[in-house]
Amino acid sequence: MSTRTYNDAVDHLNSLQSNAATLEALRAGKTRMDQLAIPEMVEYLGRIGYTPEDLNKLNVIHITGTKGKGSTSAFTDSILRHAKPEWKVGLYTSPHLVAVRERIRINGAPLSEEQFSRFFFHVWDRLEHNGKRHHPETSKMPAYFRFVTLVAYHAFLSLGVDATILEVGVGGAYDSTNIVPKPIVTGVSALGLDHTAVLGKTIKEIAWQKGGIYKEGVPALTVNQPEEGFEMLKHRAGDRKASEFILVPLTPGLSDIKLGLAGTHQYQNAGLAVHLAKHFLHAKTGWPLDDTLPPPFVEGLENARWPGRCQTVVDPKHPRLTWFLDGAHTKESLECCMQWFASPDAALRPSPSAVKTSRVLIFNCTNGRSAHALLGTAVAKIAAQLELHGKEKDASVFFDHVIFCTNVTYADGGFKGDLTSKSISERDLTQLTTQHELAAAWSSLIPPFPSNHIHVLPSIQHAIKLVHDLLAADEQSGVDVLVSGSLHLVGGVIEVAGLSKVAL
């Protein structure tokens, strides 16, 4: 009899990860994943003992988008928990930062290790014992994200949640969360224009995918979108017979609230969350559909938390060290990140007792994204922010050191179990290809930047050691560290720097 610990569950789950070659084939369109995605997911669901109709019991709010879907989900979850404290509210999101169980939350708290491993092995064993398949192409075990989605469905049904917020993983129409026949309400957050280049799709194609979560007889909500994207979402809502298609209006008084999530871009996400929560509560309890912000909604918005997104954390062991964590990984999200970081709320805040503060950037990005375009966006936004806030300092000297490291957790080349990634090619990791591209891009964007202050490092642990060395070099100064470009990187920093208790 094999053991059934949390670590065992993580090891089993990691065996389901797609490798770099498989992901490259997916990007190149060399597989038929789209056409098979929903039928296969329904089949997996049946093999663990459920029908799609069973998922209607979860009372789902389904949320997608290319920007802000996670933040919108976090706001919606917090609003519902404050409006209905007696309820049991489930939240399913991705990716995780430090532990995979973060993806499945009940009333704001991740499943415990015991709960996760129990529900995980329920699903694993059912799939092992019921291997009958209708589609010959279907693998015996689903891939990583599909499996975790099945665990979430099983956990929420077993625990009897009153409401479930489901964040789409990728896309919408073919996502494994999109097998719920009748959610209560659906919503699409911002469609990022820069995703058209990253995903190789037009804005209309992206909107078609996202609008795939709209359902017959269910309200279909969205925020302001690029015209072609909006028209496609409207078309999809009509084609899929949504009960109504709503461009959410501005909520009076919302801009006066200090949101729990930093950044001006969060007000649009908060506005969508307010309307999703109101439509949900109206359907389930008769809550009025008006334009007010009741006190529980305000409390929910003020107390929302979404780690790793425009988050400020003072290091618990080093009070002179402050971490600024944001997993921005596209040009648009990096603009939002730099708008937040290069502001009086973050890096430009008044320094106590005129203490000198050094600034460090730790950055990584997914192989295939344009290093020059991403960093160019960041540098340009910093320059604009410094001018906006009347700072004479040039953008070229805003950071004192920049570190480009891999997402590998430890200096010995190993990953923390929950952070194991098979999606990076071994050659890229060995040669630090992406990191050298980033370093070259930084040098070309800022020629005067000292080359000995540009660091290419093989692991997150190496990066943290360098930060600690910089801190120790001057016992009077502070150090501000911005970590960005990858949520996986942010999660690794939280783990290695020992920030879990204060950041998560």
CA dist., res. 71 & res. 273, Å (int): 9
Tell me whether the omega of the peptide bond preceding residue 294 falls within 30 degrees of 0, making it cis: no
Question: Which residues sit in the known binding site?
Answer: 94, 167, 195, 309, 326
Q: 379 near 386, Cβ under 8 Å? A: no
CA dist., res. 267 & res. 261, Å (int): 9
CA dist., res. 269 & res. 67, Å (int): 9
Q: 39 near 141, Cβ under 8 Å? A: no
CA dist., res. 396 & res. 375, Å (int): 12
Identity of the residue numbered 395: A
With CA atoms as reference, report the closest residue to 419 among 327, 491, 328.
491
Question: Which residues sit in the known binding site for ATP?
Answer: 309, 326
Strands across the sheet containing 163-167: 109-110, 104-106, 89-92, 163-167, 60-64, 185-188, 219-222, 244-247
With CA atoms as reference, report the closest residue to 261 among 64, 501, 70.
70
Q: 490 near 312, Cβ under 8 Å? A: no
Identity of the residue numbered 498: G
Q: 187 near 221, Cβ under 8 Å? A: yes
Question: Which residues sit in the known binding site for Mg(2+)?
Answer: 94, 167, 195
CA dist., res. 93 & res. 95, Å (int): 7
* CA 407 to each of CA 15, 199, 392, 443: distance values in angstroms, whole numbers, following the listed order: 19, 22, 35, 22
The tokens describing 88, both together, are: 């049991």
CB atoms within 10 A of CB 53: 10
* Cα angle, residue 329 at apex, residues 327 and 332 outer, rounded to 5°: 110
